[in-house]
Amino acid sequence: MDKRDVAVLGVGQTRFGYHPDKTLVDLFAEAFYEAFSESNIELKDIEALYYGNFVGEMTDGSANLSGFIADEIGLKGIPARRYEAACASSSVAFREAYLAVAHGIYDCVVVGGSERLYNAGTAIGTRALATAVDGLHEMTAGLTFPGVFALAARLYSKKYEVPMDKLHEKMALVSIKNHKYGAINPKAQFYNKFGDLKVEDVLNSKVICSPLTLFDCCPMTDGGSAVILASADFAEDVVDNPVYVLGTGQSGAGGLFRQREDMVRAIPRKKAAEMAFKEANLTPKDIDFVEIHDCFTIAEIIATEAMGFFEYGKGADAVAEGVTWIDGELPVNPDGGLIGKGHPVGATGTSQIYSVVKQLRGEFSYNPVKNAEIGMTDTLGGDFGTLVNVILGIHRRR
């Protein structure tokens, strides 16, 4: 069956950071109403809710959230569902929402997510995040999320024969870049903070899981994000500046121990990106900028390779040579990424969509990518276990 073109009507995002006084519902509602206010539609136009949340049970004692949220924000009785795919929760939700509209099931839906990990504290937050590794065979050893990427960093160093200390210096540049951009993003957790880090600051910060230090890691974050999607025909009737969904892809893998040395090549990401490029009828060369899942510095490097932007083993050089900075050939994470902007897990995917849409509409004044027409998101759930890529553009798919 042919798919209809689908477009974004509106996007919303809360300030990322510490929200002790707002529930998961409140955070979603705030993001939703921002998206709704720029969509030129009525509440009754929204036919379904797709909600991403990772660990509401552990941080807030809440599951079964989607129905409560629909009711609280004035969408009484519409079909509402929650998606859980660790850090990719709202990206999986976005792709499902996109497919439903593309296949004519709905004309207009809302998708987004919310999470409260900062408020949960480091010990609970770390344990909650670790529920995304294999709960039996990896968790027994106490493998944590920084641990997963520390394992990947050492393997990357070995596999591509880059001495670990040299690799770490290049990884530090990812942190410096993303903090620089996060520090000028008013919605980022680290707005006005850490905008001028030096390599030594990253290398000498507290070791979390060797070799990764505090500044190699994204923070624990509370936040929400939302996107209103509709068929392109519907969208063109109600807004002047629809942003079109050109392609999406999703793939997955088992635990890290099943992926073995492939973990540094992130095979599910390669498959998901290829699926998105194929649907969009585009290649990596056509992409003007990307919002990538930089949960840790090494993660951004591995991602740029697996998505096809650089050869395997060359991603670390790309950041060192300036290619992924705002004036480079492929700006990566102009919104600060997870490292600079924050990572409210279930809200992260649709916040990447938020940034890409703002950028494509020319509303990203604090860190604009020049002449951007096509942007891409990349969200990783778990230890390379769920991968979602989305390509967005200002023109309909050719």
Q: 102 with 2: CB under 8 angstroms?
A: no
Shortest approach of other proteins to residue 209 CB, angstroms?
A: 5
**Is 151 a binder of other proteins (CB under 8 A)?**
yes
Short-list 298, 325, 296, CA closest to 219: 296
Residue type, 140: T
Which among 168, 179, 293, 343 is annotated as catalytic? 343
**Is 115 a binder of other proteins (CB under 8 A)?**
no
Shortest approach of other proteins to residue 343 CB, angstroms?
A: 16
* Ranges within 333-392 binding other proteins (CB under 8 A): none
C-alpha span between 356 and 377 (Å, rounded): 8
Q: Which is nearer to other proteins, 76 or 158 (CB)?
A: 158
Count the neighbouring beta carbons within 10 Å of the beta carbon of residue 281.
12
**Is 30 a binder of other proteins (CB under 8 A)?**
no
**Is 152 a binder of other proteins (CB under 8 A)?**
yes
Question: How far is C-alpha 318 from the geometric centre of its chain's CA atoms?
Answer: 21
Binding mask 162-201 for other proteins (x = CB under 8 A): -xx-------------------------------------
Residue from the set 92, 208, 245, 280 that interacts with other proteins by CB under 8 A: 208
Which among 87, 217, 218, 295 is annotated as catalytic? 87
The crossing angle, in degrees rounded to 10, of helices 145-159 and 297-306 is: 60
C-alpha span between 43 and 277 (Å, rounded): 33
Q: Which is nearer to other proteins, 5 or 57 (CB)?
A: 57
Residue 250: which residues within 8 A CB-CB, separation 6 or more? 92, 95, 272, 275, 386, 387, 388, 389
**Is 267 a binder of other proteins (CB under 8 A)?**
no
Binding mask 219-258 for other proteins (x = CB under 8 A): ------------------------------------xxxx
Residue 108 a catalytic site member: no
Shortest approach of other proteins to residue 351 CB, angstroms?
A: 25
Output the six-digit token pair for 396.
């309909």
Let me know how many helices (H) and strands (E) the chain has, helices first: 15, 11
Q: 346 with 222: CB under 8 angstroms?
A: no
* Ranges within 122-141 binding other proteins (CB under 8 A): 122-124, 126-127, 129-131, 134-141
In sequence order, the β-bridge partners of residue 386 are 252, 381
- According to DSSP, the β-strands at 48-52 and 80-83 are parallel
Q: Which residues bind other proteins (CB under 8 A)?
A: 122-124, 126-127, 129-131, 134-144, 146-147, 150-152, 154-155, 157-158, 163-164, 206-212, 255-258, 260-261
| Positions marked catalytic | 87, 343
